[in-house]
Structure 1
Amino acid sequence: MTALPEPRRLLTIKDWLALHEDYQFRLELQEGSLTMAPSPEPEHMLAGLDLGSQVRDQLPPDLVAVPEVDINLELAGEDEPATVRRPDLVLVRRSELQRRKSEGGILRASGVVAVIEIVSPGSRRMDYKVKRVDYADAGIPHYWIIDLDSPVSLLPLSLTEELGYVDNGEVTGTYTTTSPCPLTIRLDQLG
């Protein structure tokens, strides 16, 4: 097991890349500080798998659905305290995957078109408040929040230049959109 760095200074993206994750919890980096969350519950993981399956088959060739992957939000320079998030699912441009494969590192927010977070009991405030601001600041065009409490709901947020994310109203049952591409998600089939 790799030892966690001592909290003597804020971590940069280079520091993050030097960490090797073999922990029993999820790590993210928020303005240079490591944050930890417990591993998701089975229902959360099943909902994520179901969501990924539904979305994957509908994506155009230039987009890919990637579950639980680190994203450099690019909110700071290379040598400044970084912010790295690990959303439940991201829709990313295929060209960004190719860039990462050839250059190394992690995916960058500039290649992400949508981030989807599934709310956990301990993540509600983080998902609805903190990450909403972070993803908007990173310029990610779409942020969707899925709440598994009955009835399962999705809150689709779209980025505007003037207002940040605009709340498009919570949806239950079936969610249909044309942006970032045509998609239909059966929320009642998650988990």
Structure 2
Amino acid sequence: MPASSSAELLKSVAYWPNHLITLAEWSLLPENNRHCRELVDGVLLVAPQPPRHQLAVWRLAAQLEPALPRRVAAMARIELIIDDGTPPTVRVPDVLVVGGDAGADHATRVRPPDVLAAIEIVSPGSRRTDRVMKFAEYAEAGIAHYWLLDIEATSRLTVYRLRHQTYEPNGVYTGRVTLDLDGLPLPLDLDALTALRTPA
């Protein structure tokens, strides 16, 4: 594609496109750390990322990472290709636990077979998406574990396990817990995900 065409395409897609976006166009979008962008059936969705939410995302990944074996990684805000057809769907979960080559290489774009667990942190603007749409999409994609973390008051983690192509609740946790992810013990301090730092 000529440079001028790429620039025009990027300009047209970067704000509010008037057409369904292809995966190639999605890949041309500039980085944006202020918003979470996802692509659902070719439609660009943009959601704000409150500071408390962002803090919990990065702290959660940081807590998970030391407990994971080689070739498994906890990664924040990487692209999950749910459907690469026309039109495509690309989700950007808050945290993914990925394995195999994707985990070893710390890939920036993964597919459902790479994913051991998808973790979403529920915020006021994402409740329906996280509890209904992604709940169904991730199950249909065959992702074995789906965790929903609510940080509105006390941090509360609801764990779901895929059985018979649907998610079934597998426990609700607060405080300090050790979760089992297919034989991997994962210690977490849920309260620390949003705790304010103590002044020195």
Question: What amino acid maps onto 2:120 in structure 1?
Answer: E
| Partners of 2:59 and 2:106 in 1: CA distance | 26
Q: Aligned runs of 1:138-149 on 2, under 5 Å?
A: 138-149=141-152
Q: Aligned runs of 1:14-93 on 2, under 5 Å?
A: 14-22=24-32, 24-38=34-48, 40-73=49-82, 75-77=83-85, 80-93=86-99
More helix as a share of residues = 2
SS in 1 for 2:160: strand
| Partners of 1:62 and 1:71 in 2: CA distance | 18
| Partners of 1:19 and 1:53 in 2: CA distance | 27
More strand as a share of residues = 2
Instruction: Tell me whether 1:171 sits opposite 2:173 in the alignment.
Output: yes
SS in 2 for 1:170: strand
SS in 1 for 2:24: helix
* Larger Rg, first or second structure (1 or 2): 2
Deviation sequence 1:120-165 (CA, Å, 0-9, x none): 11111111111111111111111101000222100111111x2411
Instruction: Tell me whether 1:124 sits opposite 2:127 in the alignment.
Output: yes
Q: In the comparison of the two structures, how many residue pairs are matched?
A: 182
Q: 1:58 to 1:100 in 2, by over 3 A?
A: closer
Report if the CA contact (8 A) 2:98-2:117 is conserved: yes
Question: What amino acid maps onto 2:72 in structure 1?
Answer: L
Q: Which has the higher contact order (CA 8 A, sep 6+)?
A: 1
Q: 1:129 to 1:175 in 2, by over 3 A?
A: farther
How does the TM-score come out when normalised to structure 1? Answer: 0.85
Q: 1:186 to 1:24 in 2, by over 3 A?
A: closer
| Partners of 1:127 and 1:173 in 2: CA distance | 22
Q: Could you list the runs of 4 or more consecutive aligned residues of structure 1 that deviate by over 4 angstroms after TM superposition?
A: 97-101
| Partners of 2:112 and 2:139 in 1: CA distance | 10
SS in 1 for 2:152: coil
Residue in 2 that maps onto 1:95: 101
Report if the CA contact (8 A) 1:64-1:94 is conserved: no
Bigger shift: 22-31 or 113-122?
A: 22-31
**Unpaired segments ≥5 residues, structure 2:** 1-6, 195-200
Report if the CA contact (8 A) 1:97-1:107 is conserved: no
Report if the CA contact (8 A) 2:77-2:94 is conserved: yes
| Partners of 1:127 and 1:158 in 2: CA distance | 15
Question: What amino acid maps onto 1:150 in structure 2?
Answer: A
| Partners of 2:12 and 2:44 in 1: CA distance | 9
Report if the CA contact (8 A) 1:13-1:72 is conserved: no
